[in-house]
Each structure stands twice: as structure tokens, then as C-alpha cells.
């Protein structure tokens, strides 16, 4: 099991590091710079608005299905047809609610047109995630790894032609960016559907009302969790745009610029959860200990998150100046706060995933509800005073509080052995990374050289403190130990 976790995590990270940095730094950044903060902010706020109602698209089915199939793989054939039919009905409900709420809060014609396309993209994304939950649930992690980057590969190809292919004399429009996503998601959904089709022996759509009721009942706690976490993770841009009528789109665009790098590194943490959820679920069902997997995954992710967050904090202006051509100082101030939030976010992807696999949905929902109240309340208080920077403060506070709550819940439930040496090592490592950054910043070389030196020295420190033990990992994989 240890070998499976490390090898599949390695493949997943490799593929994502191969594809997604180019998407983020090459395509998405270029689109932001070409379209400007106003147009990109217009797109980002509407994108996050469509995220708010994702609960209606999924209703917790993906998380429930991933856990359920991992523990009972024979249910794939039985459930697939019914869930597909149910998700199509949820898609209709999603569009109705999204349009109605959009009209109620005062969106105009162009905004509603964007919401229609972005909403369809959300439906496709939700469909892909459900299909992937079946693939990872039956432990086909390599196939899932390829599907996880396929949409980005297709988007890179389409956007590259539009940006640099000379196929049009017009300036790149934000609409083209959205259409490119639609094409990529459709192709990915078709390919993923064919893969699952071969495993599920699907013959025809078969909607069964009683089956739908059972699925709703079982997935409802997952649905509530998704709704609550979306509320405090995706409301920022929407609230910025709505609470600042005259400058809302521009401020949302600046916030999106600062959030871009955090969003990209969040993908790393999310990839851990993709593999951890079915593995945790399988270990728990088999009554095997999960402590070794929690410690291994937390150590890897915590170490990486500290290096990324502290390093990015110290080199925040250089990174923003490298990526963007306008509002660099404003983006820098926001980015410094947001990137520190990567540490609690990464922690959540470990402990929150464990609680999900263990079925502790009530505790998770109470935690998420608390996070939603704190985040929305702070946004209402701070955005009118500090603009987008206020939303960054709200996000940082919310992420730390919810992460700490999850750690406490896990310890009370699982009663893991308290490793005093390990707990002392963590703050020592944090202090060491801070000192390394201070040292490299005082060097007379270019900031790029300083940044690379910081990363190398930080990983060396992690190795010295035995947070990383590369030799043990390689031995583990080579010897195929359980």
C-alpha cells in the first residue's frame, strides 16, 4: 500500500507538473495580461458565481461515490446508469437556479450570456469529476492521472493557436478563453465516459426514483459539505465585485491575479486528496491503521507547503512583477496573505480527506459552516474598507481556523500516537526556512538565483531534519513493501 501511494502520487505529480505550469504561466497569465484586470475580473467573478451552485450539479455524489466504490468496487455496474441519469436532472436544476439567482442580484445581458457558457462548463467539469471518481475508486490511478491533465492539454493546444497561431487579426477576447474551455471539457468528458463505460458494462440510461432517493440520502452530508466549503472558498471574487460597484470588476481582477499562483499550488495539495480518499477508505474498511499514511502524506505536503508559502512571501513582488504588467504592488500585497494560506489549505487536504473517508460528515459540516460564517462576515466587514486586500485577510483567517479544527477532530477520533520529536521538528523547520529566505535575499545575485538557492537549501534542511528521507522512499518503491 505504501508503494502504491508513493508511485501513483509520483506519476500524478509528474504529469501535473509537466502540463499545468505551462497552462498557468503560459496561457492563463497571458490571457490575464492581454484582456486586462477589468475583463479578466469580469470573467473571474462570474466563474466564481457559477461555482457557488455546484452543489446542485453534484450533490455530494462524487465524494460519496469515490469512497463507496473504493470500499465496494462491485457496485460500479449497479450504480453507474442510475447516477448518470440523476446527474442529468441535477444539471437542469443547476441551470434554473443559477439563472434565477443571477437575475435576482442584477446581472445584465452580457453577464447572463457568460453565466450560461460558464454554467455548461461547470456541468462538464462535474461530470468529469464523477467519472474520475469511478476510475480512482477502482484504484486505476494511472488512468485517472492521465485524465486529470487531459483537459488542460487540450486547452493549451486550442488557446496557443488563438494566442500565437496568427489565425485572426482581432485582439484575443475573454469569450474565446471560455469557448476553448468548453471544447476541452467536452472532449475530456467523452474520453472519460468511454473508459468508465468499458468497466461499468453500461447499456442504457435507467432513472429509478427509489434509487435516486437512496443516493440523495447517502450523499446528502457530502453535498452539504461541498456547499459550505464552496461558500467560503469561492465567494471572495463575487463579493468584491458586488460590494464595490464602481471598481468591483477591477478589484476582482487584481484579486484573481494574486490568487492565480495560490490556485496553482493548491492543485498539488488537491492531487494528494485524489489518491488519499480511496486509500483511506480502503484501509478503514479493512480495519488497518491509517496513521502511517497520515504521517507520510502530511510530512510531504507540509514540508512542500512551508517552502512554497514562505518562499513566495519573501519573493512576492518579484513573482508578481514577473507574471503581470499592471497593478503589481496591489497584487503583491494580496498575494502575500493568500500564499500563507496554502499551509492550512494543504493541511485540510490531509485531515479533511481522512474525516471524509471515515464518514465523519457531521463534524466536517459543522466545521465548514463555521468557516462560511467567519469568511462571509469578515468579507462584509473588510472589503468596503480594504477592497480586495480585505478579502485576502478574510481568507487567511478562515483557512487557519478550519484547518486547526480538523486536526483537533482527527486527533480526538483516531488518537494517534503523539510523536514529540516530530512535533518539535516542524516549528524548527519553519524557522529554518525563514532564516534561509532572509539569507538568500541578502545575496548579491539575481532574484531568480536567490530563489533557486532558497528552494535547494530548504529541501536540504528538510532532509537533515529527516522530514524528507529520499533513500527510504526509493527503497520502499524498489522493494515493493506493503
Q: Could you count the other beta carbons within 10 Å of the beta carbon of residue 332?
A: 18
pLDDT digits (tens, 9 = 90+) for 63-90: 777 777 777 766 676 677 778 888 888 8
Identify the pLDDT of residue 11: 67
List of the chain residues with pLDDT < 50: 472, 475-477, 479-482
Identify the pLDDT of residue 252: 85
Cell matching residue 477: 518503491
Distance CA 301, CA 278 (A): 18
> Across the chain, what does the average pLDDT equal?
85
CB 58 within 8 A of CB 224: no
DSSP 482: -
Sign of the Cα pseudo-torsion (31, 34, 35, 41, in order)? positive
Domain spans in the chain, listed from the N-terminal domain onward: 2-417, 419-482
Question: Hey, what's the torsion of the CAs at 129, 348, 337, 386, to 10 degrees?
Answer: 80
Residue 97 burial class via C-beta count within 10 angstroms: exposed 0-12, middle 13-18, buried 19 and up: middle
Cell matching residue 35: 484582456
Largest CA distance in the chain: 70
The DSSP line for 385-448 is: HHTHHHHHHHHHHHHHHHHHHHHHHHHHHH-----HHHHHHHHHHHHHHHHHHHHHHTSSS-HH
Q: Could you count the other beta carbons within 10 Å of the beta carbon of residue 302?
A: 19
Residues 231-251 as b/e (b if ≥16 CB within 10 A, e otherwise) read bbbbbbbbbbbbbbeeebbbb
H/E segment holding residue 79: helix 75-104
The residue ranges of DSSP E strands in 192-249, in sequence order, are: none
Read off the pTM.
Answer: 0.73
Q: Which residues contact 335 (CB under 8 A, 6 or more apart)?
A: 258, 261, 262, 312, 316, 319, 320
CB 252 within 8 A of CB 45: yes
Distance CA 172, CA 34 (A): 7
Cell matching residue 387: 477592497
Q: Residue 311, by phi and psi: left (phi above 0), alpha (psi -120 to 50) or beta?
A: alpha
Cell matching residue 367: 466545521
Distance CA 455, CA 433 (A): 9
Distance CA 159, CA 151 (A): 12
Amino acid at each position: 500500500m505504501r508503494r502504491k501511494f508513493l508511485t501513483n502520487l509520483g506519476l500524478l505529480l509528474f504529469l501535473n507538473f509537466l502540463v499545468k505550469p505551462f497552462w498557468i504561466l503560459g496561457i492563463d497569465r497571458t490571457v490575464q495580461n492581454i484582456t486586462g484586470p477589468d475583463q479578466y475580473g469580469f470573467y473571474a467573478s462570474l466563474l466564481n458565481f457559477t461555482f457557488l451552485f455546484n452543489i446542485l450539479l453534484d450533490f455530494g455524489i462524487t465524494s460519496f461515490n469515490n469512497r463507496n466504490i473504493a470500499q465496494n468496487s462491485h457496485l460500479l455496474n449497479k450504480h453507474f446508469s442510475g447516477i448518470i441519469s440523476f446527474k442529468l436532472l441535477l444539471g437542469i436544476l443547476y441551470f434554473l437556479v443559477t439563472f434565477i439567482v443571477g437575475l435576482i442580484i442584477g446581472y445584465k445581458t452580457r453577464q447572463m450570456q457568460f453565466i450560461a457558457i460558464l454554467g455548461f462548463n461547470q456541468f462538464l467539469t462535474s461530470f468529469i469529476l464523477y467519472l474520475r471518481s469511478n476510475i480512482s475508486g477502482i484504484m486505476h490511478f494511472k488512468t485517472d492521472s492521465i485524465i486529470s491533465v487531459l483537459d488542460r492539454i487540450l486547452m493549451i493546444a486550442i488557446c496557443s493557436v488563438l494566442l500565437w497561431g496568427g489565425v485572426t487579426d482581432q485582439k484575443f477576447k475573454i469569450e474565446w478563453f471560455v469557448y476553448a474551455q468548453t471544447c476541452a471539457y467536452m472532449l475530456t468528458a467523452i474520453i472519460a465516459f468511454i473508459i468508465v463505460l468499458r468497466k461499468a458494462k453500461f447499456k442504457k440510461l435507467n432513472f429509478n426514483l427509489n434509487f435516486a432517493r437512496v443516493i440523495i440520502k447517502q450523499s446528502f452530508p457530502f453535498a452539504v459539505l461541498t456547499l459550505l466549503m464552496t461558500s467560503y472558498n469561492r465567494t471572495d471574487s463575487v463579493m468584491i465585485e458586488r460590494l464595490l460597484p464602481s471598481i468591483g470588476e477591477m478589484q476582482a481582477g487584481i484579486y484573481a491575479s494574486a490568487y492565480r499562483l495560490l490556485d496553482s499550488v493548491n492543485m498539488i495539495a488537491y492531487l494528494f486528496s485524489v489518491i488519499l480518499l480511496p486509500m483511506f477508505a480502503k484501509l478503514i474498511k479493512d480495519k488497518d491503521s491509517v496513521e502511517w499514511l497520515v504521517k507520510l502524506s502530511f510530512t510531504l505536503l507540509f514540508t512542500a507547503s512551508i517552502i512554497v508559502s514562505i518562499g513566495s512571501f519573501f519573493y512576492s513582488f518579484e513573482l508578481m512583477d514577473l507574471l503581470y504588467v499592471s497593478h503589481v504592488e496591489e497584487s503583491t500585497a494580496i498575494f502575500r496573505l493568500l500564499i500563507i494560506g496554502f499551509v492550512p489549505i494543504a493541511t485540510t487536504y490531509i485531515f479533511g480527506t481522512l474525516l471524509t473517508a471515515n464518514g465523519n460528515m457531521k463534524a466536517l459540516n459543522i466545521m465548514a459552516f463555521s468557516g462560511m460564517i467567519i469568511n462571509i462576515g469578515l468579507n462584509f466587514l473588510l472589503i468596503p474598507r480594504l477592497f480586495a486586500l480585505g478579502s485576502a485577510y478574510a481568507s487567511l483567517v478562515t483557512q487557519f481556523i478550519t484547518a486547526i479544527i480538523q486536526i483537533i477532530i482527527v486527533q480526538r477520533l483516531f488518537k494517534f500516537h503523539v510523536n514529540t520529536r516530530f512535533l518539535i521538528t516542524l516549528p524548527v523547520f519553519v524557522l529554518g526556512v525563514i532564516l534561509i529566505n532572509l539569507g538568500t535575499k541578502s545575496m548579491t545575485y539575481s532574484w531568480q538565483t536567490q530563489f533557486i538557492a532558497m528552494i535547494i537549501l530548504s529541501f536540504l534542511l528538510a532532509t537533515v531534519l529527516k522530514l524528507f528521507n529520499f533513500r527510504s522512499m526509493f527503497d520502499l518503491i524498489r522493494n515493493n513493501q506493503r
